[in-house]
Amino acid sequence: MSETLTIRVDPHVHSEASYDASDPVELILEQSAEIGLDAVVVTDHDVLHESIRAAELAPEYGLVGIPGVEVSTADGHLLAIGVDEMPPR
């Protein structure tokens, strides 16, 4: 019999570092834990600093933190997940 592992992840959350959001990473992490997520990826627009901070703080909330960023390109936006520096555009 094979086991199934379910991991609940939100792979696209913006913090107050993005122009279109206002929540600090601490609130994002708190709410993510409250709703039963296992991991969260803060993917702000074109900045990585709050995502890295969220990934570092995540274990304090019982979460896995994965750094990421939403990169703006001439063709639209793309998510870079698991990065610790800005990818080239």
Instruction: Provide the pLDDT confidence category of residue 1 given band limits of 50, 70 and 90.
Output: low
Nearest Cα neighbor of 54 from 7, 6, 18 is: 18
Structural domain spans, the chain? 9-81
Q: How far is the C-alpha of 70 from the C-alpha of 74, rounded, in Å?
A: 13
pLDDT at residue 50 in the model: 98
* Whole-structure pTM value: 0.92
Q: Quick one: tokens of 4?
A: 């199934």
Looking at the predicted structure, is the pLDDT value of residue 89 above 80?
no
Mean pLDDT, all residues of the chain: 96
Mean pLDDT within 7-13: 98
- Summarised one tens digit per residue, pLDDT across range 23-63 is 999 999 999 999 999 999 999 999 999 999 999 999 999 99
Mean pLDDT of 11-17: 98
